[in-house]
Amino acid sequence: MSRHLADKRSPSEGGRVKMFLKIARSPRAIWHRDAARPAGNRRLMEFLRIERGRTA
């Protein structure tokens, strides 16, 4: 019996590893972008609103 076509793969050239390393070695800015903060302290205001018992 001959082997199935899927069992006769040629060796890969490591394309996935190359792309992974390219991304992993990229500058830190790509992974850690500062989210744009809205003006004012909206998050604190929401916590205070909830604390006072107001909903929406």
Each residue's pLDDT tens digit, 10-50: 888 899 999 999 988 888 777 676 666 666 788 888 888 88
pLDDT for residue 37 = 62
Rounded to the nearest angstrom, the gap between the alpha carbon of residue 54 and the centroid of all alpha carbons in its chain is 35
pLDDT for residue 17 = 93
Q: Rounded to whole angstroms, how far apart are CA atoms 16 and 2? A: 30
Q: Rounded to whole angstroms, how far apart are CA atoms 20 and 32? A: 17
Of the chain, the end-to-end C-alpha distance in Å amounts to 71
pLDDT for residue 36 = 67
pLDDT for residue 11 = 82
pLDDT for residue 53 = 85
Tokens of 17: 């590893």
